[in-house]
Amino acid sequence: MHDLAKHAPTAPDWGALRRDFPILDQTVHGKPLIYLDSGASSQKPRAVIDAISRYYEHDHSNVHRGIHELSNRATAAYEGARERTARFLNADKPSEIVFTRGTTESINLVAATWGERHVGAGDTILLTELEHHANLIPWQQLARRKGAQLLYVPVLGDSGVPDPAKVDELLTPAVKIFAFTHISNTMGTINPAAEWCARARALGVATLVDAAQSAGHCPVDVAAMGCDFLVFSSHKILGPTGIGVLYGREERFAEMPPYQTGGEMIVTVDWHDAKFKPAPHGFEAGTPDVAGAVGLHAAMDYLDAIGRQNIFEHDRDLAAYAYTRLSELGGVRLFGPGTDRAGLVSFLLDDVHAHDVVTLADQHGIALRGGHHCNQPLHRKLGVKSSARASFYFYNTHEEVDRLVEVVEKVRAFFNR
Amino acid sequence: MDFDFEELYQAVILDHSRKPRNFGALPDATVTVSGDNPTCGDEIALSLKIDAAADKLEAVGFTGSACSICMASTSLMTTKIKGKTRGEAETLLRDFQGMITGQMPESETPKSLGDLRLLSGVRKFPQRVKCATLGWHALKGCLAESGEGKFSVGTGDADL
Ligand SMILES: Cc1ncc(COP(=O)(O)O)c(C=O)c1O
């Protein structure tokens, strides 16, 4: 906790913040709920839930369509969320923010538009072995359509760190786009996003950063990072499900054909032709998720009031504590870097399948993730079918980690009896 | 330890998951069907040697890696179907499905299921039903592939 001491004057009252999350105050299978699955989806503070209700109770209508009062309010709320997102990411302009359904759709959008136009036969698409299926399959399918080559920066075994020597070797001018995760959802690795983006830029290579695990967990600044695209989901950063963000550098958006077509994204339509709006609206066909944007706006306000650096340090300390306690147990295989890891820990018990660990943890009220965490090829490479994952947020406590360790010990004793 | 959990992981089940019976490839198999649960990484391949003339499942073997519930359920299944007719295997399959999904009242669970009845606790763990039924899906697939094809193959659903 020594790092937090540095921030002592502004150190958040974590206990009070936790009480902002109504869902955490319940028992599961007769035990107090310990939610250690925020990597899959975070819980929502009262402020977000209330913002959505308030919007529906007072301001809802369709956006950009009516000239009546409610439509004006809805439009202002929606475009206000866009401005807020631009500030959240330190983007140049709100027009560099496109709302999508989430990380997955954001990546599919880029692969289907920018990728479709700029990646050709013989070109290379570079990923890392850490990628979530969402940042793998859209590129794999694009490569297959185009006859392009798909390469992966390999990770160094269980450490989950992409091999720096291989980045040097694979990141060449033959690469059209380098798409990589900022924080690995399986390993907790924090990739050197700014360094990679700078090197790619110098070679004329476009970059896409998957910030699904980082946007709500640490400061994310697209100007400092220097990426071309950055994507994340609202539901992992305290916001509602159903909405996500695609940040795109202005000149990148300008060189992309439309994604979906229909209402809202057109300038003029004729029977046999149509003219499309530029970004952001040109990439947002149809009625958007206005209430989702309102909730996401409230979530970003809430996060920035706490300070994402504070959150990062809190989660990092908790994960480091969990990592140390679990490694002391013996017979536990831990994945990801031993130091400089983000707020999650994946592990396996000798001879116990992750599913069995997760079921027993659930009986003790502890929500863990078990499986391949949408990263099948990586698990295959590590020679495991699945792993158990505890992922933390600022509402989790050291006592909850202690409970987790106790339960893991129980599981081990049970299966080794 | 929690009661439901103890019920789920009884000694016989743990024993079968640690030392699965009929585990290993079957070199002279007449049919092999594999199945997987992509969400949790369970993978099972079931092989049967069917003597069509005598209508008998002469030999059975399985390979793969899976959680303890899946291993135990598949292991127990192989011990029950070995030497049985196709019709008997199909009956077993239906009875097991009825039990595991809770469609059949506990009191009506046929004695013929034997130790398989120890798996009835799985019904309290809906997310684990898929684990318990994976090997049975493979059996259904084997029977379909080797017969008139009246069963359709699926993966990992409670619905066998
Ligand atoms: C690193 C990473 N990328 C992408 C995704 C996909 O996000 P979503 O399912 O919200 O589109 C996730 C979360 O599941 C993730 O952790």
- Give the residue ranges of chain B where pLDDT is below 50: 149-156
| Residue B159 in domain | no
Say what the pLDDT of residue A278 is: 94
Say what the pLDDT of residue B112 is: 87
| Residue B82 in domain | yes
Tell whether ligand 1 has an atom less than 6 A from the beta carbon of residue A132.
Answer: yes
How far lies B27's CA from each of A52, B63, B79, B137, in Å? 62, 12, 18, 21
Nearest CA in chain A to B127: A359
Say what the pLDDT of residue A291 is: 98
A29 touches chain B (CB under 8 A): yes
| Residue B32 in domain | yes
Contacts of A364 in chain B (CB under 8 A): 2
Say what the pLDDT of residue A383 is: 87
- Does residue A58 contact residue A69 with C-beta atoms inside 8 Å? no
Report residue A9's pLDDT band, with 50, 70 and 90 as the boundaries.
low
Q: Are B68 and A414 in contact (CB < 8 Å)?
A: no
**Average pLDDT over every residue of A76-93:** 98
Taking the domains of chain A in order of start, what are their residue ranges? 14-45+307-415, 48-305
Q: How far is the CA of A59 from the centre of ligand 1 (A)?
A: 31
Say what the pLDDT of residue B159 is: 59
- pLDDT above 90 for A385: no
| Residue B113 in domain | yes
Please state the φ and ψ torsions of residue B38, each to the nearest 5 degrees.
-60, -30
What distance in Å separates the CA atoms of residue B56 and residue B48, rounded to the nearest whole number? 10
CA-wise closest residue to A260 among A284, A276, A238: A284
Q: Are A385 and B43 in contact (CB < 8 Å)?
A: yes
> What is the number of residues in chain B?
160
- pLDDT above 90 for A8: no
Residue A374 bears catalytic tag: yes
| Residue B155 in domain | no
| CATH code of the domain occupying A14-45+307-415 | 3.90.1150.10
Count CB pairs under 8 A between chains A and B: 51
Please state the φ and ψ torsions of residue A152, each to the nearest 5 degrees.
-125, 135
Tell whether ligand 1 has an atom less than 6 A from the beta carbon of residue A102.
Answer: yes
Q: Are B65 and A385 in contact (CB < 8 Å)?
A: yes
Least confident of A50-54, A190-194, A261-265: A261-265
Least confident of A124-128, A185-189, A250-254, A411-415: A411-415
Around Cβ A278, how many Cβ atoms within 10 Å? Answer: 14
H or E element that contains B55: none
Report residue A69's pLDDT band, with 50, 70 and 90 as the boundaries.
very high
Sequence-distant (6+) residues with CB within 8 A of B13 are B68, B69, B72, B118, B119
Residues on chain B bordering chain A, Cβ-to-Cβ distance under 8 angstroms: 1-2, 4-5, 8-9, 14, 38-43, 65-69, 125, 127-128, 131
Distance from CA of B57 to the nearest CA of A (A): 31
Say what the pLDDT of residue B71 is: 94
**Average pLDDT over every residue of A146-150:** 98
| Residue B39 in domain | yes
| A18 DSSP β-pair partners | none
Tokens of A144: 């297959």
Tell whether ligand 1 has an atom less than 6 A from the beta carbon of residue A86.
Answer: no
| Residue B49, helix vs strand vs coil | strand
Question: Of 2.170.120.12, 3.90.1300.10, 3.40.640.10, 3.40.50.2000, which CATH number belongs to A48-305?
Answer: 3.40.640.10
Q: Residue B117 belongs to a domain with what CATH number?
A: 3.90.1010.10
CA-wise closest residue to A382 among A57, A147, A130, A70: A130
Q: Which domain holds residue B86?
A: 3-150
- Tally the domains of chain B: 1
A380 touches chain B (CB under 8 A): no
Distance from CA of B123 to the nearest CA of A (A): 13
Say what the pLDDT of residue B48 is: 96
Mean of all residue pLDDT scores within chain A: 94
What distance in Å separates the CA atoms of residue A400 and residue A35, rounded to the nearest whole number? 9
Contacts of B14 in chain A (CB under 8 A): 415
Report residue A136's pLDDT band, with 50, 70 and 90 as the boundaries.
very high
- pLDDT above 80 for A408: yes
Q: How far is the CA of A374 from the centre of ligand 1 (A)?
A: 8
What distance in Å separates the CA atoms of residue A316 and residue A394, rounded to the nearest whole number? 10
Contacts of A414 in chain B (CB under 8 A): 1, 9
